[in-house]
């Protein structure tokens, strides 16, 4: 379970409105830049079979997997996709530090966390970084999720605290995530970026010993940027 620090949630609680903007910062035409990164990074694309051992190690050490009754095993890896337009990856590419980034999923034998998403970054030094991002399949990039999850967690906490005024902020944790719906006009991913349409995701949190569901709406700006806002918070 992803635990939020007091400082992160306090900052999010003070932020208004409950929305965040992921502004395109790509040089020139964002779509052309994203397509060019897919071409340039092709030689550095990882093979899923080569990632299995490290993915298992990362899963077993990740707080995301803490709810599993026993150390999880991975049954398969799948869904490798370019993520060069993710804000963190793009900044590294522009700084000449990264070749590119990719996301992929793992199925596990843990009932609490059956699907895990990872981010893999190939560095120009020859090293790489692999991170566990979240539980479940989603459309939002890892950076979108990271930058919006504190807001979503704060909203979940505020709603739960109304039911339990003595609840502490340390009780908040992020659980399963999924795509609730995608607009018919949602464009295809180009290195992780979307250039038309929008979508909704459902993010589950625990807060004050309650299960809270947060609906997050994402809207693209046509330039590789995306706005995220909290649409609804409800008790499961």
The residue from 97, 113, 135 where one domain ends is 135
Residues 6+ positions from 165 with CB-CB distance below 8 Å: none
- 131 and 35 in one domain? yes
Q: Quickly tell me which residue has 């398969």 as its tokens.
A: 76
The verdict on whether omega for the bond into residue 17 sits within 30 degrees of 0, i.e. cis, is yes
- Reference 2, options 112, 103, 120, 166; nearest CA is 112
Q: Does 148 share its domain with 217?
A: yes
Based on the fold, state whether residues 38 and 122 are members of the same structural domain. Answer: yes
Stretch among 19-33, 40-54, 84-98 having the lowest mean pLDDT: 19-33
Closest CA to 113 of 134, 130, 131: 134
pLDDT tens digits, 16-44: 444 555 555 778 899 999 999 999 999 99
pTM (two decimals): 0.89
Q: Are residues 96 and 150 in the same domain?
A: no
Q: Which of 4, 134, 127, 122 is nearest to 58 (CA)?
A: 134
Most confident of 38-42, 112-116, 157-161: 38-42
Q: Give residue 2's pLDDT.
A: 54
Give the model's confidence band at 70: pLDDT under 50 very low, under 70 low, under 90 confident, else very high.
Answer: confident
Query: 65 and 119: one domain?
Result: yes
Are 206 and 145 contained in the same domain?
Answer: yes
For the cut 80, the answer to whether the pLDDT of residue 132 exceeds it is: yes
Q: What is the pLDDT of residue 62?
A: 86
pLDDT at 9: 37
Verify that 160 and 229 share a domain, yes or no: yes
Per the prediction, the chain carries an average pLDDT of 89
Domain end, chosen from 68, 100, 135, is at 135
Residue at token pair 């989603």: 138
Give me the pLDDT at residue 144, please: 93
Our count of domains for the chain comes to 2
- pLDDT score at 21: 54
Split at pLDDT 50, 70, 90, the class of 7 is very low
First-last CA distance in the chain: 17
Q: Which of 83, 183, 178, 69 is nearest to 130 (CA)?
A: 83
For residues 187-207, average pLDDT: 96
d(CA 198, CA 38): 22
Domain of 176? 2-24+140-235
Determine the pLDDT at residue 152. 95
Nearest of 95, 185, 180, 91 to residue 140 by alpha carbon: 180
């Amino acid at each position: 379970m992803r635990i939020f620090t007091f400082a992160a949630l306090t900052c999010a609680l003070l932020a208004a409105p409950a929305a965040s903007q992921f502004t395109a910062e790509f040089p020139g035409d964002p779509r052309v830049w994203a397509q060019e990164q897919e071409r340039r990074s092709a030689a550095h694309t990882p093979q899923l079979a080569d990632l299995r051992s490290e993915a298992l190690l990362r899963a077993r050490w990740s707080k995301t997997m803490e709810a599993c009754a026993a150390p999880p095993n991975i049954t398969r890896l799948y869904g490798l996709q370019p993520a060069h337009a993710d804000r963190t990856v793009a900044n590294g590419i522009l700084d000449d530090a990264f070749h590119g980034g990719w996301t992929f999923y793992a199925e596990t034998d843990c009932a609490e966390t059956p699907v895990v998403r990872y981010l893999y970054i190939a560095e120009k030094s020859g090293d790489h970084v692999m991170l566990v991002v979240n539980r479940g399949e989603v459309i939002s990039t890892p950076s979108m999720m990271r930058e919006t999850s504190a807001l979503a967690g704060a909203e979940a906490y505020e709603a739960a605290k109304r039911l339990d005024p003595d609840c502490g902020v340390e009780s908040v944790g992020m659980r399963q995530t999924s795509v609730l719906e995608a607009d018919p006009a949602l464009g295809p991913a180009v290195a992780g970026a979307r250039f038309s349409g929008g979508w909704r995701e459902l993010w589950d949190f625990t807060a004050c010993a309650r299960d809270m569901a947060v609906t997050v709406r994402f809207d693209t700006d046509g330039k590789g940027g995306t706005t995220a806002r909290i649409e609804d918070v409800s008790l499961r």
